Amino acid sequence: MRQRDKAEDEYDEPIKGEIYDFHAYRHVPTRSIMRFEMYPPKKEAGLFVQIPLGPEHAGAVASAREVLGKIFDLNGLMAIDISKAIKTLDKAELDANGAKQSFIQAQTTKFATSGASVEFSADPAIQAWKSVTAVRRVRNALKDDNFDGDSGKFTIGLRDNDGLKRDVTMSLTGYDKRLYLHAQMTADEVTETVAVVRKFAAP
């Protein structure tokens, strides 16, 4: 099946004297699996659902919770603070002052408080909104302690000595406490990406 992905759209592309717009659709596997992993020594666990967000996804999560609840007390699991991860991931890039070696780039970030919100985003051609000096100044004026991290879309550079050499895109939602990966990834890539989020969500 195909799923619309507006973030990958391309506009005003000149081809043979004509101007074209390209509307992107991502191919999503029709056969999907769901996996729960737990590592008691590390006090870590995660539910991985390869189903696009929507009613079917919500139903799969509910089914997983029902089955897992028969095995152990789910109240013993505590979700990591995705809202904090959004703020600290964004702040880490901000503190890098645009340095190319920064492995984090925010495509969009949204901060909320008392029913109101502030959102920073970039045109797909720019990708990282912090490359615009005027917008960086506005973000620097934002007092993080007064806001919750509502949502964000980040590019994470995975680079290590074990062969990880890839940039991956993920979305985070503070209210749902959810991490969404935008492409098929290897187990090592998923593990490393989750580790980055956990690190920036830590107290």
Distance CA 15, CA 26 (A): 23
pLDDT at 147: 95
For residue 113, give the DSSP letter: E
Structure confidence by residue, pLDDT tens digits, 19-67: 999 999 877 655 567 889 888 888 889 999 888 788 888 899 999 999 9
Task: Answer for the pair 177, 82: CB distance below 8 angstroms, yes or no.
Answer: yes
Question: How big is the chain by its Cα radius of gyration, in Å?
Answer: 19
pLDDT at 29: 59
pLDDT at 18 over 60: yes
pLDDT at 90 over 80: yes
pLDDT at 189 over 50: yes
Percent of the chain with pLDDT strictly greater than 70: 91
Q: Residue 165's Cα: distance from chain center in Å?
A: 18
What are the extents of the domains in the chain? 2-76, 82-201
pLDDT band at 84; cut points 50, 70, 90: very high
pLDDT band at 150; cut points 50, 70, 90: very high
Distance CA 191, CA 117 (A): 31
Mean confidence (pLDDT) of the chain? 85
pTM across the whole model? 0.75
Distance CA 42, CA 100 (A): 33
What SS3 class is residue 95? helix
DSSP 111-155: EEETTEEEEEE--TTT--GGGSHHHHHHHHHS-GGG-EEEEEEEE
pLDDT at 101: 45
pLDDT at 163: 66
Q: Dump strand ranges (E) for 6-103.
A: 10-15, 18-22, 25-27, 34-39, 44-49
pLDDT at 6: 85
Task: Answer for the pair 185, 193: CB distance below 8 angstroms, yes or no.
Answer: yes
